[in-house]
Amino acid sequence: MTDLTLGQPPVHAALDFFDDQHPPAGDFLRDVLTGLAATPKSIPPVYFYDAAGSALFDQITDLPEYYVTRTELALLDRIGPELARRAGPGAVVIEPGSGSSVKIRKLLSALDQPAGYVGLDISGEHLMASCDELARDYPGLHIGAICADFTTGLSLDHLPLPEGRRILFFPGSTIGNFEPAGAREVLAGFRKGMREGDAILIGADRVKSPQTLEAAYDDAQGVTAAFNMNLISRINSELDGTLDPTLLKHVSVWNAGKSRIEMHLEALEAQQFQVAGRSFELAKGERLHTENSHKFTPESFQALAGSAGFEVLESWSDPAELFSLHWLEPKAKA
């Protein structure tokens, strides 16, 4: 069931529509208990982003070691005219997993008279705040919001969107947080919701020296460590956990075989603990796996896109080849 609010000022005055698809919330307790009972132990990275975790991530994006955000922003500035040419006039930009408005503002400012913007996120409160702000700053733009889980695909046909070409904007190498099969499913889900002529502008972090990668995920100021350790604070405060954070350390590791950076919390000493009344233990040196961030070569990204039904029509990278943006369009159906 979808709640579609269109042009009703008492609800969301600044927006042209708000489409609440009532996505199911993640089950923090279930996922933590399941992950702690597994071998090896793991917790899904989605639980990083409570208020404290989101604030810490904002700090990470400004760190000298974390090249991703500033490199992508500079790249958007540089290729703006090319993006305008690719998109054409009157485009409608759709942003699955809409985050900080800095990147989307650069894209909207670069395009030729964009007709609309749609933010899509699972967190309705965050989504409304960012879309309302954009609507105030772009009064001539048709702006809507969809509260939904983008990993289950896109449902757009019922929405009052302008007629322009639709450009999905998926920045920040979010695609790298999925396992390869999951990344294919996400892109294939996007593909099913797209029309002929629509396109995706997607960010992908590149394979580079292990030293650069490990430093980006283990900064000298310890902000990334605090971000990782915030999971333990959440477990202890929200799930009656008894984990001792002083017996854990943040670890980032480059896994060359899987072309990914992994983040873990490693036990400095053995400890027994409880979560929601269930007992667990960590052996000394045992790791709790908290995140993967896959990195791509031009060839591996092209293979991923192709497996999900896309052609890579153009790719751009910074001079140091740290990060890339790719323009994808659906392959012609047989």
pLDDT tens by residue, 245-302: 999 999 999 999 999 999 999 999 999 999 999 999 999 999 999 999 999 999 999 9
Query: Does 92 lie in the same domain as 189?
Result: yes
The one-letter code for the residue type at 334 is A
Indicate the range of 11-20, 28-37, 89-98, 180-189 predicted with least confidence.
11-20
306: phi > 0 → left, psi -120 to 50 → alpha, else beta; which?
Answer: alpha
Identify the pLDDT of residue 23. 87
pLDDT score of 2 more than 50: no
Query: Does 190 lie in the same domain as 142?
Result: yes
CATH number for position 115: 3.40.50.150
How high does pLDDT run on average in the chain? Answer: 92
Query: Does 96 lie in the same domain as 76?
Result: yes
pLDDT per residue over 113-159, tens digit each? 999 999 998 877 778 888 999 999 998 899 999 999 999 888 898 99
Beta strands 248-255; 260-267: pairing state: antiparallel
pTM of the model: 0.92
C-alpha angle 109-169-163 in degrees, rounded to nearest 5: 75
Residue 302 CB partners (closer than 8 Å, separation 6+): 312
Query: Does 197 lie in the same domain as 51?
Result: no
Query: Does 193 lie in the same domain as 47?
Result: no
- Beginning with the edge strand found earlier in the chain, give each strand of the sheet holding 260-267 in spatial order: 41-42, 287-294, 260-267, 248-255
Distance of CA 305 to the CA centre of its chain: 17
pLDDT grade, residue 207 (50/70/90)?
very high
Query: Does 172 lie in the same domain as 119?
Result: yes
The neighbouring-strand residues paired with 274 are: 279
Query: Does 276 lie in the same domain as 156?
Result: no
More confident residue, 130 or 88: 88
What is the spatial distance between Cα 35 and Cα 121, in angstroms, rounded to a whole number? 25
pLDDT score of 225 more than 70: yes
Q: How many domains does the chain have?
A: 2
More confident residue, 319 or 334: 319
Query: Does 133 lie in the same domain as 38?
Result: no
Query: Does 141 lie in the same domain as 88?
Result: yes
pLDDT per residue over 8-18, tens digit each? 433 455 799 99
CA-based radius of gyration for the chain: 21
Query: Does 13 lie in the same domain as 35?
Result: no
Domain boundaries, position 128: 3-24+67-208+296-330
